[in-house]
Structure 1
Amino acid sequence: MNDLKKLLPMLGHTRGKRSAVTCQLKCDNACSKAVCNTSTNNYFRDIVSTEFSRRSAMGIGLAGVLSTAVMAQGNNGNGNGHSNNGQNAKLAFTPIKPVDAAVDAFNVPAGYSWQPIIRWGDPLFKKSQDFDFANQSAEAQAGQFGYNNDYLEILRQPNGKQGLLVCNHEYVNPQIMFPAAPANDAEKALRRNIFRNAVGMSVVELERDKKGEPWDYVRGGRLNRRITLDTKFELTGPVAGTDFVKTAADKEGRFVLGTLGNCSGGTTPWGTILSGEENFNGFFRTEGTSVEDRRYGLGNNVTGMGWELDDPRFDARGEAYRNEPNRFGYIVEIDPENPNSVPKKHTSLGRFKHEGANVIIADNGKVVAYSGDDERFDYLYKFVSKNKYKKNNKAHNMTLLSEGDLYVAQFSGDSASEIDGTGAVPADGAFDGSGKWLPLVVNGKSAIAGMSVQQVLVYTRLAADKAGATKMDRCEDVQPNLKTGKVYVACTNNTNRGVGANAVADEANPRTKNRDGHIVEITERGNDSTATTFNWNLLMLCGDPAQNSTTYFSGFPAEKVSPISCPDNLAFDTQGNLWISTDGAPSVIGYNDGLFKVGLEGSNRGNVQQFASMPRDAETCGPIVHDDESMVYVAVQHPGEDGTYGAHTSYFPDYVAEGVTPKRGEVRAPRPAVVQMFPKGSGKGDGKDKGRDRDKGNGKP
């Protein structure tokens, strides 16, 4: 057991269904280590003295057919004008009950079916090898759908028959990907090469016979693409070409190979995809002695993936590649309509553990991007472009994230003296207050004394420390509602809140040992997305009301909501409802993660209803709600995470019916997959995807 504890530092320290394996593979056991943020920033009690879906609204087509169908500006009252009163919902359903964490099944409401669109290993190109568990190779994986899909987007052509799927691939799990342990060093190196080609991103064409039916993915689609650690990225913004990002392999500091730890993301009004480089630190070995290294969780340890054994750029202890970690931790942008385009890494949005980035166009035409730093006690950020959005001008709009102002959030509470860490609601009946966007870079100049613009953007965490930002409980997805302009921040959890010398509870993070997380709702001052001040309140304090008396749902009766914990990714439907995917599930009992809808207005505000439940060990990622078609999509990440090959804990998505013997030679093991959910009668709904073959792919990843 001592050896196991050494291998899995979080073993015995997780709660609910969260796996210690996930902690090791995804974030390098971040919660078992010292808190990276040791700044002495003030807490609330110290500073206070007394879809209209962004996805469905876009309507983006393929290959220039409909490059941009931009909605009216988010702050100008776009949408259908309906209030969110829970009536006449386009996607009606009876909420499902939570499913015990020991159950391996994908569950949807009565009257709905589900089936995967694409799985890990499915071939993307005409010449790609069919997936074979027993004969995997790096070359094959480079032409196949990657592992552990996270952020998800489905862009539709106006006719509804063609689409484009874009997906992140965050990390891998070696113990369930292969049928046997590697026998020698050569086999270990082979697998490390496979792992490098299993992360990154995928772009995949979709087809169906008519609108509203389930999709098939197209093998050999002209726009199909795999982005791996060999893909060339261009650095943009003030850091590009500086000494901070030059290496032995890139002496000009202009181009980077690959993207890492891609978690959530966003879709821009001009039809490109943004992806957040999150837990990049665990892939690099550094000297680990500098303040900068420690603030970013970089250290002098053998990494979990061991890529430094094969590629010198992952060993940053020497002078040649000392700056390589400085080239990761950004928001990247890809054009899914151009498989030959060079993706960009935007340094102007700062370097930290970006969960993702989501964009709204302000009334003055500037682009505003919100992003959270997914680490305990780190911060919430906002970027405002220097230049303005131009309709139907993708080339111009793809430069907007290269130059602008960067801010970090500071919150103040209205009832700071009442916050005692229990989660008790203040006497005024709400957790609320005001806030400021503290400047980090403004008008091309650093707003932080003693730091240049380049230093602020490479060591953004240190700059935000100096600015006095508010320490948050792990900001994950940050979504502006394009119908109302309000911004929603998923704070997934922080069990270290108020423990030892760590930051105490405050009104925006009001629970000590916050296991279940919460959601912050921000209203920019004057409903202006570029404003430097805002008001805020908490939409909910998550948890299972039957087990946790500190839950709060904006006044909605707690006994009537579906239990929910660890909010992660967010989306909106056309009625203005917020949809939440979870990563951690309610504590104490231990349920499987799920997808939930919550009302935001009127008597329905705070009403949480569970729509779907994931298979065993899996996390819900990348929700999409196309309620105009009564279709919902999620990326199912790390099913069967706690298993080992031959002793799997999940067989998602290729289940064999109870009592049916698998075919001879059939391999049964979990495969992360993208799932579509729809009313029965609109597709097969048998858990099997068909896939389509098109004779126009070039066979090259």
Structure 2
Amino acid sequence: MAKDFAAMEDSNRSSNPSIHDVSDPARRTVLRGGLGLAVTGLLAPLGAGTLAGCATAGGTAPPLLGFKGVPVSTADAVTVPEGYVTQVIAAWGEPVGVAGAMPAFRFDAGNTAAEQALQLGMHHDGLHYYPLDGSRRGLLVMNHEYTDDGLLHPDGMKTWGAEKVRKAQAAHGVSVIEIEWKDGRWQQVRPSRHARRITAATPCAFSGPAAGHALLRTAADPAGRIVLGTLNNCASGKTPWGTYLTCEENFAFYFKGPERPDAHQRRWGLRPGDPVGYRWHEFDERFDASKHPNEPNRFGWVVEIDPLDPTMTPVKRTALGRAAHEGATVATTKDGRAVVYMGEDARFEYIYKFVTRDRIRPGGFAANHELLDHGTLYVARFDADGSGRWLPLVHGQGPLTAAAGFADQGEVLVKTRQASDLLGATKMDRPEWIDVDRDGWVYCTLTNNSSRGGAGQPAVDAANPRANNTMGHIIRWKEDGDFDGTTFRWNHFVLAGDPANDRADAKGNVNGDAFACPDGLWVDARGVLWIQTDMSTSAMGKGDLARLGNNQMLAADPKSGEVRRFLVGPVGCEITGATATPDGRTMFINIQHPGETPSERSDPDQPRRISNWPDFRADGRPRSATVVIRKADGGVIGT
């Protein structure tokens, strides 16, 4: 998440108690070495594992973290360990490669809206590699979280009009590009029959229990079946049947709220007056919620895309629930069903999972095009004794009845937050990315929550143990039985922050290189847990976060808890998205919003100038881009 929009949501909290109201946090103990336990004896040893072909000649697996960590940095550059090399590809504004339509990026930001719709979008985020020819050629699919209008237009927002709104909408969404290893480097393949842009104006279909629901119907779409676009896409997922899941996060801030928002609108962040930072409603009426009150309900979904089919209509999967989604990680049960883990990146919101009714079938998307429409959605409750329970979000079960305001399952899914409130789920410190290690432990980054324990806000609890939590932590759990289990055991993998800090709310238990505000998370094929940070620019230059330098990417050994800094990004950036080729010899990450200003948005009237990465042109402007990382000797990343 690029900006702490969650800070603006405090006034919208319901009165649902946090878990501290029914548990005793004093029973929790935190152990040294980066392995915070809720209960002694809860944690079983975790195996490090190896990528095939990485063992030594004698059969001994090499250390999981086989590189020398890098120091913190405030340079306007990407810093990696000795023996590693980087390459920048796929920067904002580069053509994606649609045949016959490849407009070049103009460094004065003079590209039109129509040209931007054929170019990579702004502020890259979730990223996955789809092989076409193993580790030599494939598709990169990435989403684009938001836009900075000060950078996007030559004169920023000094003037405003329909063309600028169209261009901003064209810079959102998803990009599909083809890349190949050629002449000793990775290159984009242009033209490519796979190349595609999906924007905030691309028709998307609704599917699942809420499709066609009265809460999704508008004057432009009286059937409630087709919505224009996907926006504020943050984090992503890759399915075993080969599709890409993109997640709609801070959608509420694109809408002008009604003068008197109702309880449902308030719970989802709609406020009277103009939206935060965006003026789309002035030239695209559907973003005026006072005129089109159901339009906000049409965002906040997980969207499924088949990268191999550029004609496929993106599908918003309503069975997975509506939230400020950040991430959709897919695990598979022993009997072949899919389980999707999802975080909601907002203060005091929830962690979810969805278990499909049916098994995954061979045959790709065509054979599984309805798989995510049928199943059960759950929300997590973390208890103080180190146990947890998945609470079903099913109409008619428990309090989720018509008497409580839920007429049917479609309404439960549109109002997922309110349903989770009623069930008493645990309010978390901004749950973001989720991934699963080789031994079945599920990890979730909780990036921060400075409101925890504040006046009128939920107090600390077992799962969220620090008031004024500016540093964040990583929680993990293991299901009792298979991934479809309804109970689990949990603990803290690490409390972020500097172990040398004297302040209780900023002192972490990191075993190794200190970091704060964990955000991106990825477990690679060898079992390395990669952690990416998103410290806000306003906080990085002062206080406890200043000595941690620019945002970074770290590698952790799940068995020992050791954390080692692998990469530091350019000034003002966020490190996000991570994927690799099947052979593990090439890693791809995204650098988002390099040069972000302390105000957390560039001047809307002009481009920011504190960074010129990656072009370093005097007449240029900072651009989000994908970075290729390889070992100079061609070896496996991290060894």
Give how far 1:34 is off: 2.8
In structure 2, how many angstroms separate the alpha carbons of the residues matched to 1:317 and 1:549? 46
| Matched residue type, 1:366 | R
Residues 629/590 of structure 1: CA separation in 2 closer, same or farther (3 Å cut): closer
State which of 372, 389, 394 in structure 2 corresponds to 1:441.
394
In structure 1, how many angstroms separate the alpha carbons of the residues matched to 2:361 and 2:191? 33
**Cα pair 2:20 2:459 within 8 Å, conserved:** no
Give how far 1:553 is off: 7.5
Structure-1 residue corresponding to 2:151: 176
| Matched residue type, 1:41 | P
Is 1:92 the counterpart of 2:43? The answer is: no
Is 1:651 the counterpart of 2:612? The answer is: yes
**Cα pair 1:573 1:627 within 8 Å, conserved:** no
Is 1:371 the counterpart of 2:374? The answer is: no
User: Secondary structure of 1:271's partner?
Assistant: coil
Give how far 1:653 is off: 0.9
Alignment of 1:237-276 (within 5 A): 237-276=208-247
In structure 1, how many angstroms separate the alpha carbons of the residues matched to 2:89 and 2:530? 21
In structure 2, how many angstroms separate the alpha carbons of the residues matched to 1:654 and 1:593? 20
Structure-1 residue corresponding to 2:625: 673
User: Secondary structure of 1:193's partner?
Assistant: helix
User: Secondary structure of 1:263's partner?
Assistant: strand
**Cα pair 2:525 2:584 within 8 Å, conserved:** no
User: Secondary structure of 1:597's partner?
Assistant: strand
Is 1:565 the counterpart of 2:565? The answer is: no
User: Secondary structure of 1:406's partner?
Assistant: strand
User: Secondary structure of 2:224's partner?
Assistant: coil
Structure-1 residue corresponding to 2:463: 508
In structure 2, how many angstroms separate the alpha carbons of the residues matched to 1:485 and 1:181? 48
State which of 624, 629, 638 in structure 1 corresponds to 2:593.
638
User: Secondary structure of 2:444's partner?
Assistant: strand
Structure-2 residue corresponding to 1:595: 553
**Cα pair 2:149 2:157 within 8 Å, conserved:** no
In structure 2, how many angstroms separate the alpha carbons of the residues matched to 1:168 and 1:161? 22
| Matched residue type, 2:521 | L
In structure 2, how many angstroms separate the alpha carbons of the residues matched to 1:172 and 1:618? 14
Structure-1 residue corresponding to 2:19: 43
Structure-2 residue corresponding to 1:305: 278
Structure-2 residue corresponding to 1:127: 101
**Cα pair 2:107 2:620 within 8 Å, conserved:** no
State which of 543, 559, 565 in structure 2 corresponds to 1:610.
565
In structure 1, how many angstroms separate the alpha carbons of the residues matched to 2:620 and 2:158? 22
Structure-2 residue corresponding to 1:457: 413
Cα displacement string for residues 186-225 of structure 1 (whole angstroms, at most 9, x for unaligned residues): xx43222211100000000111138xx5421122211000
**Cα pair 2:153 2:164 within 8 Å, conserved:** no
| Gapped regions of structure 1 (runs ≥ 5) | 1-17, 51-74, 415-432, 656-661, 684-701
**Cα pair 1:580 1:623 within 8 Å, conserved:** no
Cα displacement string for residues 37-90 of structure 1 (whole angstroms, at most 9, x for unaligned residues): 22232423623597xxxxxxxxxxxxxxxxxxxxxxxx9x9976999xx96147
Give how far 1:154 is off: 1.4
Residues 626/219 of structure 1: CA separation in 2 closer, same or farther (3 Å cut): closer
| Matched residue type, 1:170 | E
Residues 220/626 of structure 1: CA separation in 2 closer, same or farther (3 Å cut): closer
**Cα pair 2:577 2:590 within 8 Å, conserved:** yes
**Cα pair 2:129 2:580 within 8 Å, conserved:** no
**Cα pair 2:585 2:631 within 8 Å, conserved:** yes
Structure-2 residue corresponding to 1:31: 7
Determine what percentage of the aligned residue pairs are the same residue. 38
Give how far 1:445 is off: 6.9
Is 1:206 the counterpart of 2:206? The answer is: no
In structure 1, how many angstroms separate the alpha carbons of the residues matched to 2:281 and 2:157? 18
Structure-1 residue corresponding to 2:117: 142
**Cα pair 1:369 1:384 within 8 Å, conserved:** yes
| Matched residue type, 2:90 | I
In structure 1, how many angstroms separate the alpha carbons of the residues matched to 2:209 and 2:50? 37
Is 1:525 the counterpart of 2:460? The answer is: no
Residues 611/524 of structure 1: CA separation in 2 closer, same or farther (3 Å cut): same
**Cα pair 2:350 2:427 within 8 Å, conserved:** yes
In structure 1, how many angstroms separate the alpha carbons of the residues matched to 2:382 and 2:609? 45
State which of 85, 89, 102 in structure 2 corresponds to 1:117.
89
Alignment of 1:208-607 (within 5 A): 208-209=181-182, 214-287=185-258, 288-303=260-275, 304-318=277-291, 321-414=292-385, 433-441=386-394, 448-449=400-401, 450=404, 451=406, 452-481=408-437, 483-526=438-481, 528-547=482-501, 550=504, 558=510, 561-584=512-535, 587-601=545-559, 605-607=560-562
**Cα pair 2:501 2:507 within 8 Å, conserved:** no
Structure-2 residue corresponding to 1:429: none
User: Secondary structure of 2:189's partner?
Assistant: strand
**Cα pair 1:277 1:356 within 8 Å, conserved:** no
In structure 2, how many angstroms separate the alpha carbons of the residues matched to 1:176 and 1:624? 27
In structure 2, how many angstroms separate the alpha carbons of the residues matched to 1:523 and 1:552? 26
Give how far 1:398 is off: 2.6
Give how far 1:33 is off: 4.7
Structure-2 residue corresponding to 1:8: none
User: Secondary structure of 2:326's partner?
Assistant: coil
In structure 2, how many angstroms separate the alpha carbons of the residues matched to 1:622 and 1:498? 31
In structure 2, how many angstroms separate the alpha carbons of the residues matched to 1:383 and 1:447? 20
Residues 246/32 of structure 1: CA separation in 2 closer, same or farther (3 Å cut): closer
In structure 2, how many angstroms separate the alpha carbons of the residues matched to 1:395 and 1:267? 16
In structure 2, how many angstroms separate the alpha carbons of the residues matched to 1:384 and 1:248? 34
| Matched residue type, 1:517 | G
**Cα pair 2:88 2:628 within 8 Å, conserved:** yes
Task: Report how many residues are paired.
Answer: 588
| Matched residue type, 1:651 | N
Computed over aligned residues only, the root mean square deviation of the Cα atoms, in angstroms, reads 2.7
**Cα pair 2:442 2:478 within 8 Å, conserved:** yes
Structure-1 residue corresponding to 2:39: none
User: Secondary structure of 2:214's partner?
Assistant: coil
| Gapped regions of structure 2 (runs ≥ 5) | 28-45
In structure 1, how many angstroms separate the alpha carbons of the residues matched to 2:565 and 2:580? 14
User: Secondary structure of 1:448's partner?
Assistant: coil
Residues 621/289 of structure 1: CA separation in 2 closer, same or farther (3 Å cut): same
Structure-1 residue corresponding to 2:40: none
Structure-2 residue corresponding to 1:420: none
Cα displacement string for residues 488-540 of structure 1 (whole angstroms, at most 9, x for unaligned residues): 011000000001121111111111100010001110002x1111100000000
In structure 1, how many angstroms separate the alpha carbons of the residues matched to 2:622 and 2:51? 41
In structure 2, how many angstroms separate the alpha carbons of the residues matched to 1:484 and 1:182? 50
In structure 2, how many angstroms separate the alpha carbons of the residues matched to 1:324 and 1:43? 33
Residues 308/335 of structure 1: CA separation in 2 closer, same or farther (3 Å cut): same
**Cα pair 1:621 1:634 within 8 Å, conserved:** yes
Give how far 1:681 is off: 5.8
In structure 2, how many angstroms separate the alpha carbons of the residues matched to 1:332 and 1:234? 9
| Matched residue type, 1:648 | R
Is 1:155 the counterpart of 2:130? The answer is: yes
Structure-2 residue corresponding to 1:69: none
In structure 1, how many angstroms separate the alpha carbons of the residues matched to 2:283 and 2:120? 23
**Cα pair 2:88 2:627 within 8 Å, conserved:** yes
TM-score of the pair, normalised by structure 2 = 0.87
**Cα pair 2:65 2:557 within 8 Å, conserved:** no
**Cα pair 1:262 1:276 within 8 Å, conserved:** yes
TM-score of the pair, normalised by structure 1 = 0.79
In structure 1, how many angstroms separate the alpha carbons of the residues matched to 2:424 and 2:469? 22
